Amino acid sequence: MLTTILEGMLAASAATSLLQLGCTAWALAKGSRKATRGVAHLPPVSILKPLKGVDDGLMDNLESFCNLDYPEFEIVFCLQSPSDPALRVVRKVAERHPGCDIRVVIGHCFDGMNPKVNNMIPGYLESRHPFVLISDSNVRVRPDYLRKAIVYFADPEVGMVNHLVRGIGARTLGARLENGHLNGFILGSIATMDGMFDLPCVVGKSMLMRKTDLGGIGGLHEVRDFLAEDYVLGRLVRKAGKRIVISADAVDNVNRYRTIREFLSRHARWNRMRLAIAGPGYLSEIFANPVFFALLLLLASGGSREATMAAGAVVLCKFGTDLAMGMLLGAPDALRLALAGPLRDLMVAGIWFSAFFSRTVTWRGRVLRITRRSRLVPVGETSDAGIFGARPGTPKEVAA
């Protein structure tokens, strides 16, 4: 009886992986048909870059934004400390691109629990253009990226443009696990939720908005106490009656030297966050992991010939979907990422279960508890106000 149930769950899990692949292929094909010609209005854009430390390929990542083929934009680099090593990289980028409108804002904002949002608030207050693009420091883009994104705002009902994210550049096993998970489960889930259920899942690697729309939902201050500030921003946009577009013009997330421990730690935090957001819906995530169900079937059957054949076929199918996903995305190391897939999926299954046993995360030395919709509360404290009860900091430095 148990093996029959597990066989059904294994089949459902394999079908989920194939569905994710199909939805991704459909999203990419639909995106490639979106024309940008005939767009007469290209409004000025302020690009916010929150920085903390030196990410893999940081110089090239930042320079890709300096090389955007767009008539008018500014890049606002946001830091919390003048001693941050990222500042040296930023100044080098500014020297190499004297024609680019670059400013550095060093602020000391401790208004909320989320340090990334704290980092951005002073820079946002200093930004000058009617559109704002929030983009992480480990993101790399192509020259036509901003032109392709702004076209969606010809529709006044669009309140945000978000992008699919592709992991590239892995040189260690931990980075391959990270990029494979990003290119497979995460990207595939986003494409499926958007394409099948019209439920766009906002990922904060690239978010483009009108400032009027952002201000209308309370601005960045409204999300300063949430771990999933991107999800909450998307939810507020939809609640305001605006539409979110998930652009299939994928941006690159550069991961080169991540360790296995960093991979596990990062996704343990993400899974606790998703459980707080999705509640019972979190249970469905495990069905995107046929390798896990294949292992359960083998154990339950005692390694019978029939179960071994079924499990082997499904694992091979999952390898094929991982490889096809990488090839669809144009990942140069698609085969290596797919070969690491079975190990990644077993680790991810363990991380998935771990979310049920802890609701705390350690973020920059502070232990926080994740509550409803990923709101952060300090462990041992009853208030969910700002970390120090402070108001937004005044920028210490604004440099051209």
Cα-based distances in Å from 7 to 291, 312, 314, 344, 386: 12, 12, 11, 22, 49
Say if CB 16 and CB 104 are below 8 A apart. no
Whole-angstrom distance, CA of residue 27 vs CA of residue 193: 11
Of 160, 86, 65, 76, give the one whose Cα is nearest residue 120. 76
Binned at pLDDT 50, 70 and 90, residue 178 comes out as: very high
User: What pLDDT does 79 receive?
Assistant: 96
Quote the pTM value: 0.90
Mean predicted lDDT score pLDDT of the chain: 91
Whole-angstrom distance, CA of residue 142 vs CA of residue 65: 8
pLDDT tens profile 201-226: 999 999 999 999 999 999 999 999 99
Q: What type of residue is 347?
A: M
Q: What residue spans define the domains of the chain? A: 2-14+273-374
Q: Are strands 243-254 and 158-168 parallel, antiparallel or unpaired?
A: parallel
Percent of the chain topping pLDDT 70: 92
pLDDT tens profile 232-261: 999 999 999 999 999 999 999 999 999 999
pLDDT tens profile 97-150: 999 999 999 998 888 999 999 999 999 999 999 999 999 999 999 999 999 999
User: What pLDDT does 383 receive?
Assistant: 41
pLDDT tens profile 25-51: 999 988 766 544 445 689 999 999 999
CA torsion through residues 240, 141, 194, 231, sign: negative
User: What pLDDT does 39 receive?
Assistant: 59
Locate the DSSP E strands across the chain. 45-50, 73-79, 101-106, 131-135, 139-140, 158-168, 206-210, 243-254, 360-363, 366-370, 376-378, 397-399
Q: What is the CA radius of gyration of the chain?
A: 22
Residue 116: enclosing H or E segment and its boundaries?
Answer: helix 115-126
pLDDT tens profile 79-101: 999 999 999 999 999 999 999 99
Whole-angstrom distance, CA of residue 251 vs CA of residue 273: 23
Task: Give yes or no for residue 400 having a pLDDT over 50.
Answer: no
pLDDT tens profile 340-374: 999 999 999 999 999 999 999 887 677 899 999 99
Of 321, 293, 284, 314, give the one whose Cα is nearest residue 22. 321
